[in-house]
Structure 1
Amino acid sequence: MVIWDTLCFHSTLCCGDNAVFFGNYQILFQTADIGLLFANIVPEVCLFVILRRKSARLVQELILIKVRQVETVMDNTEFKKIVQEITSKYGFMYCKKNYYCNSDKIIVVINLQKSNFDNSYYINYGFCVKDIHNDLQYPKNNECDITGRFLNETNKGIYQLDTMNAEELVVSLEKNILNSTTVSPIT
């Protein structure tokens, strides 16, 4: 049920543009001078809505509104910042383009690999046994004895920045660091 008097964008808010941002939603109009009334918005759905505006004896009706959720695309800087925060939370230090966690017997390496084809990353990890590699203080992922790749829920081993938000990245990183690489229990 639409409550006509509660949620209303007057045409002055449109400022001649045909879009209004309402939280995470973007409302696109066919015309700019429209009073908009709605109660529930569902992302990715086109709605035909009958609009009524009673100001200055004007009644406007029947406009197509396309409502879609505005995605906040994660950029490389934000992605790397989140990775830095999460890895340092679990004892990793950034050095020579990798994240390292040292223990008495093992060095754990986390490496970001940028995709050449789209706006995405692979997150690789490796375990380097110190008894085997005495001379390696900062091993690269390909020099490790055991290697692997972090997995996420949607795209397996690839982290697509265009479709992932910050919360999903944090959850995936923490899950992978704790479960897949078993970094925390290393002594």
Structure 2
Amino acid sequence: MVIWDTLCFHSTLCCGDNAVFFGNYQILFQTADIGLLFANIVPEVCLFVILHRKSARLVQELILIKVRQVETVMNNTEFKKIVQEITSKYGFMYCKKNYYYNSDKIIVVINLQKSNFDNSYYINYGFYVKDIHNDLQYPKNNECDITGRFLNETNKGIYQLDTMNAEELVVSLEKNILNSTTVSSIT
């Protein structure tokens, strides 16, 4: 969700090329004296280069700006916390680095697999049929009879934390978990 606020402040700007960092805020200057504004959005920080028409002078004026809050990228801790909340909401229990959902005939296993190449995760699932195997209470994903991987709308089976926000993660998890628990209740 994008939040816009209109702010008014008195500012001193140096002419020429100025790089200004505003954390997670994108600043749009609206004034006749500022010729050009280039914004390069970098993860977690917005970099702004302001070019002024008149060189070697300080410009001091009242500037009306709009501030747009830029969503920050998710880190590993936030990702795991959201996964924990959603899986708990649907009756999964965390044990031995996996999430388990027990029904009468099937155990559903969900586990997180960290990518070695970038800041992303795969979410794997498995169905363990109790009638076939009754010796394991907490099977690993590779011991399940049927295995698969959660899909999301943008990147197929990979959850890239650099580009995904919390809302997208919640929607994708709920959709995939509802599908997996529906299958386990049918059998």
- How far the C-alpha of 1:131 sits from its partner, in A, is 1.2
Note if contact 1:7-1:37 (Cα within 8 Å) is conserved in structure 2: no
The answer to whether the 8 Å contact 1:107/1:128 transfers is yes
Q: How big is the shift at 1:33?
A: 13
Deviations 1:57-105 (A, max 9, x none): 9965899999986341101000000000000000000000000000111
Q: State the distance in 2 between where 1:2 and 1:156 align.
A: 25
The answer on whether the counterparts of 1:51 and 1:61 sit within 8 Å (CA) in structure 2 is no
Q: Which moved more, 1:175-184 or 1:149-158?
A: 175-184
Relative contact order (C-alpha < 8 Å, sep 6+): which is higher?
2
Q: What secondary structure, in the 3-state scheme, does the structure 2 residue paired with 1:116 have?
A: coil
Structure 1 residue 113: Cα displacement = 0.3
How far off is 1:11 after superposition?
2.1
Residue 54 (structure 1) shift: 17
- Of 9-18 and 92-101, more deviation after overlay is shown by 9-18
- Classify 1:84/1:68 alpha carbon distance in 2 versus 1 (closer, same or farther; 3 Å): same
Q: Is the CA contact (8 Å cut-off) linking 2:6 and 2:65 kept in structure 1?
A: no
Distance 1:49 1:152, change over 3 A: closer
Normalising by structure 1, report the TM-score: 0.69
Structure (1 or 2) with the greater strand fraction: 2
Please identify, of 114-123 and 53-62, the stretch whose mean Cα deviation from structure 2 is larger: 53-62
Map Cα deviations across residues 1-51 of structure 1 (whole Å, 9 max, x no partner): 999997423228999997778896322889999999999999999999999
8 Å CA contact 1:19, 1:27 repeated in 2 = no
TM-score by length of 2: 0.69
Q: CA RMSD in A?
A: 7.2
Q: Which runs of 5+ in 1 are unaligned?
A: none
Question: How many correspondences in the alignment?
Answer: 187
In 2, distance between residues paired with 1:170 and 1:180? 15
Q: Secondary structure at the match of 2:107?
A: strand
SS in 2 for 1:59: strand
Distance (Å, rounded) in 2 between the aligned partners of 1:42 and 1:78: 20
Identity percentage of aligned residues = 97
Of 69-78 and 19-28, more deviation after overlay is shown by 19-28
After superposition, where does 1:1-187 map in structure 2 within 5 Å? Answer: 7-11=7-11, 25-27=25-27, 70-180=70-180, 182=182, 185=185
